[in-house]
Structure 1
């Protein structure tokens, strides 16, 4: 039985809090002490809100209403999410001292679910890259090896969970930004279907790419946080999009993860649309992780069939156009752009120079690609791929000056994640493997639209067999 609070899972803590065997302030103080001691080495947090967290914890401890779905549990906001009165940098020197007056919807949703925010987790500048190294703060480092980067853009959230600075954490994913750092740090990371999470649906963004989702040590904890991110809050409208299953009730995904039931048809592939743009090399650790997941699923009675994606040479250039276009609206001009990092400046200028016709053509291309992927995946309940092609990259590995090289490096590292965002499908990365040196490697399961419950059930079955919830970075 674990003796320290951070060794307990989020659901275990929730049950102790409900029984008053653990105080909210007791748990918050435990995490704040760990953050103060360990964050300088890890780079997980940009900002820590000590007094606000303690005040919130004392308020919850004094309340008799403990019905909120995540009541008393500690989280932190990714530093792309505004929280009123808390410095929000967006990972950029351009906003290094920015303090918003109002909170974003996701922060309000998590408050309504009963959580205590401990601060802001690290992100790269405006969340634009799949690694978390910015000029506003130290890099987010992999707790399994501090010479390695944590991935991104939810790198700080993943480091915080892996190192026991939080029980779980919300992230956002526009091209792999939950799954990449979760895989690098030995965690479960779930990118929901487009439209599922009201406060991070993707519906209001260019090409519908970024969605909000959970990062956790276990499948059950990821499901718990996902439920909290979409649960009813009082009388407010739950959802403004049609994707939400009409029969959804609070706790639906936690139930699927706890039960972990069902036998499913699994497609397995190592193909990616990026392989037609540049050479994709799979590290042996990536193929080993895929083999572990595939063979375990087969041994559990699931149908497993290997297949290849249809060629889509148009995908890469179209996605690249959207990546650049997304930076075109950054609030920088001639007087302030020197505060941006070179890569961000390059992206911004390339995006602003794009002809409208090129952007329209790229959006149409990705829409056709979405329909193609959904059609190709339709005969499976889930599709299994590697999460990453390479092992976690060393800090400083990415070229932060030259945009074309940087883009190619990001594709080289994570060629299996972005096309899932384009297709709007749910996906979960699971920490199924460790290298001989103990570095985590994940496998990714991609579901049908609205198929989160199936992914969680499959993840729970794999976790029962592989028992990764018991593995922690040894030095933390």
Structure 2
């Protein structure tokens, strides 16, 4: 039986106590046995050969290998992985096999990971649920009738169900934190630029708005998240920080807590009683070491409109093979982006930059801002797709009302499990660092679990 901890597995691989072939065979078996969860849409046929090569390299170069040498993982189906199909979760584009790795996949391959396959995502990564017209929906390991979140929903389900020890995700409006919270994991959204591969094409979109999407780890705990963060960056920092006593020494932070959302000007936002109870439990755990204060926050009323415009701008330029095969949400939001003039897009980008500056100004009165991770338990599969695109989007904003503002601000945030519902579904807390101190956030996540 392999350890749940990715860090323990890494150490066992590095010490030669377990081979990459043994680890890879174990996780492939888990994937096969749990196909009904829909986490994977493609399983590599070359993984065992890659593991054999990793073991050969270990025998020759022990002690001079990558940070995650021989460790299995997977990539969400928005990342190209050489030799594997990339569908972007859409039936409307031509399905092709990638000929080269994405920058993130190449970075982690350099650290020695064994890629087991590709995991389920929503169409073009748009949604907080991982359902599309390509394959079966990704389901929550805690209750397969419910969603595992999105857009890194397949990754979160795979980690939570023990199909991979740890998983790299991406977050453009909550896409690491939402599925992590839904599946009872630690999910870190780093600040823009912290992962070098995220900014190869710059720090802003084509209209001057901040780039929203960054890569981040999904893991069972803060130490595993730190391990993957260091591998994604290609330098040792976060894991040594957490293992060097920083979590024990960190104290007396000013933590402002709030349930106010910038989406409240557009939608009814309500935190369920169970989510509020878990949020309060998280605050009480933090209060053992830190100063807790109710934060009074005043968000711009035009945030929903400005964010939505920036978030959907890129849809109009995606080349499609068959537009009629777009899902309802992607089809409607693509039409809106095509109808939006360049002047309107530039105006929205300018407004988002202004709002981002105001977020940071308000949050910087504190060391950390705490919010609920989500407004309630994960919804049932199919919950979002029974009506119009507008209704779908509203339901998503109501479920994850505290996520996208962090991307707009280019700040760092982490979601941490702190409780469960009466039916055993995970509930958590989100911690935001206006100064983008990921190490502090991971230390706080570790303190919560101590």
Deviation at 1:355, TM superposition (A): 1.2
**Residues 1:312 and 2:310 aligned together:** no
Distance 2:426 2:29 in 1: 26
In the TM superposition, structure 1's runs of 4+ consecutive aligned residues that sit over 6 Å from their partners are none
| Structure 1 residue ranges without an equivalent (≥5) | 232-249, 465-476
Distance 2:425 2:241 in 1: 29
**Residues 1:38 and 2:34 aligned together:** yes
Trace 1:293-332 onto structure 2 (pairs within 5 A): 293-299=282-288, 301-332=289-320
Trace 1:180-329 onto structure 2 (pairs within 5 A): 180-201=178-199, 203=203, 205=205, 207=209, 208-231=211-234, 250-258=235-243, 259=245, 260=247, 261-263=249-251, 264-299=253-288, 301-329=289-317
Distance 2:154 2:366 in 1: 34
Structure 1 partner of 2:154: 156
Q: 1:433 to 1:96 in 2, by over 3 A?
A: farther
CA contact (8 A) 1:84 1:103 kept: yes
CA contact (8 A) 2:181 2:374 kept: yes
**Residues 1:48 and 2:43 aligned together:** yes
**Residues 1:59 and 2:53 aligned together:** yes
CA contact (8 A) 1:10 1:168 kept: yes
Deviation at 1:436, TM superposition (A): 1.4
Structure 1 partner of 2:384: 398
Structure 2 partner of 1:104: 102
1:401-435 CA-to-partner distances (Å, cap 9, x unmatched) read: 51111111111110000000000000000011111
SS in 1 for 2:96: coil
TM-score computed with the length of structure 2 as normaliser: 0.94
1:149-204 CA-to-partner distances (Å, cap 9, x unmatched) read: 11100000000000000000000000000000000000000000011111124725
SS in 2 for 1:376: helix
**Residues 1:426 and 2:399 aligned together:** no
SS in 2 for 1:453: helix
Structure 2 partner of 1:15: 11
Deviation at 1:257, TM superposition (A): 2.7
| Structure 2 residue ranges without an equivalent (≥5) | none
Distance 2:90 2:307 in 1: 24
1:76-111 CA-to-partner distances (Å, cap 9, x unmatched) read: 011000112211111111346311222210110010
Deviation at 1:291, TM superposition (A): 0.3
**RMSD over aligned Cα atoms:** 1.4
CA contact (8 A) 2:415 2:430 kept: yes
CA contact (8 A) 1:160 1:166 kept: yes
Q: How many correspondences in the alignment?
A: 437
Distance 1:96 1:254 in 2: 41
Structure 1 partner of 2:395: 409
Distance 1:402 1:200 in 2: 33
SS in 2 for 1:312: coil
Distance 1:400 1:368 in 2: 35
Alignment partner for residue 337 of structure 1, among 311, 323, 336?
323
1:226-256 CA-to-partner distances (Å, cap 9, x unmatched) read: 110001xxxxxxxxxxxxxxxxxx2211123
Alignment partner for residue 452 of structure 1, among 438, 446, 449?
438
Deviation at 1:307, TM superposition (A): 0.9
Structure 1 partner of 2:167: 169
TM-score computed with the length of structure 1 as normaliser: 0.89
